[in-house]
Amino acid sequence: MFGKTSPLSIGRRPFSLATGVAMAGALVLVGSSQVLAATAASSQTLAGTSSAGVLSVTAPAGLTLPSLVGGSSTAATNLGSLSWTDTLNSATASSVTLASTDLYFAAGVGGHIPFSNFTISVDQAPNANALNSGANAVAGAASQVLSGVDTTPGTTYSSPITLATASTTSVGTWNQAANKIAVGVPANTIPSSDFAATIQYTITG
């Protein structure tokens, strides 16, 4: 048994209707000018079907940190270009979050760098696509330190932090290209070893 439990978002329907009307007007104008330019041309029907709304994400393909020097912090390193799309007719605002595992090499002392040593600098100016509608996405706090209960080093994810949120009326694509990470490297970190982590981006809406 299904029931409607959330208020229907009506804000975008007039917008869609207006868009449709505008498109029709444009087609009429284009068709008229073609007729004027070449009287022998026949009219052309242009039709298209809009796809379903979607919640999608494009995350950077990889991240290479600078050298990890025990007892010091790395320079803030760019996390790459993150973009996401929310064209769902959702009654709930969307959120983009980041979580990470430890930088892990091996079990034991100095074998991993806990995620609590990671500081994320959040791009404070999400770029909005020119075709977006509604309010722009709002960036999360400028500097955030990852936290959480690290039950299995190297496997457990930190608690998610908020990179950006968008309101229920926000529809479109956004991009954050200046998110950065700095890692505090414990002094007892095993030298000359490759440490690897998993960084996780989530779009929720």
Partner 1 sequence: MTGRLLVAKAVRPSNRSCLLVLGCLVATLFTMVGAIPVAAASPTPDLTRPQLFGVHPLLQGQTTLPGGHFSFALVAGQTATDGVVVENFADQPLDFHIYGADLLTAVGGGLAPAQATDAMHEAGAWIVVATPRVTIPAHSRITSMFTISLPSAISPGEHLGALVAAALVGTSSQGSTIEARTALITNITVPGAISPSGRLGPLSRTPGMSRDVGFAIILSNTGNLLLTYVGSVDVLDRGGHTVASLSLAPASAYVVPGGHVGLDAVWPGLPSSGTYSARATVTILAKGRPVATLTSQSLPLSFASPAPIPPAVATALGGFVLAAGIVIAVRRRRRRPGRRVAVKQLSHNSDWISRDSCMLPAMTRSTTVRLSRSLFSDHAGCSSAICIA
SS3 readout for 59-109: CCCCCCCCCCCCCCECCCEECCCEEEEECCCCCCCEEEEEEECCEECCCCC
Under the binding rule (CB under 8 A), the answer on residue 67 touching partner 1 is: no
d(CA 186, CA 19) in angstroms, rounded, equals 56
Under the binding rule (CB under 8 A), the answer on residue 137 touching partner 1 is: no
Under the binding rule (CB under 8 A), the answer on residue 64 touching partner 1 is: yes
Q: Least separation, in Å, of the C-beta of 53 and partner 1?
A: 6
How far does Cα 51 stand from its chain's mean position?
20
SS3 151: coil
Q: Least separation, in Å, of the C-beta of 98 and partner 1?
A: 9
Of 186-205, binders to partner 1 (CB under 8 A) are 194-205
Strand ordering across the sheet containing 143-145: 77-78, 180-183, 118-121, 143-145
User: Which residues pair with residue 196 across a beta bridge?
Assistant: 104
Of 26-45, binders to partner 1 (CB under 8 A) are none
d(CA 183, CA 145) in angstroms, rounded, equals 10
Q: Least separation, in Å, of the C-beta of 180 and partner 1?
A: 8
Under the binding rule (CB under 8 A), the answer on residue 6 touching partner 1 is: yes
d(CA 29, CA 140) in angstroms, rounded, equals 44
- Judged by CB under 8 A, the residue of 27, 31, 34, 65 near partner 1 is 65
- Judged by CB under 8 A, the residue of 38, 61, 107, 187 near partner 1 is 61
Under the binding rule (CB under 8 A), the answer on residue 92 touching partner 1 is: yes
Judged by CB, which is closer to partner 1: 8, or 38?
A: 8
Judged by CB, which is closer to partner 1: 12, or 27?
A: 12
Under the binding rule (CB under 8 A), the answer on residue 73 touching partner 1 is: no
Under the binding rule (CB under 8 A), the answer on residue 69 touching partner 1 is: no
Q: Which listed range, 14-22, 23-31, 39-47, 172-180, lies at the site for partner 1 (CB under 8 A)?
A: 172-180
d(CA 79, CA 96) in angstroms, rounded, equals 14
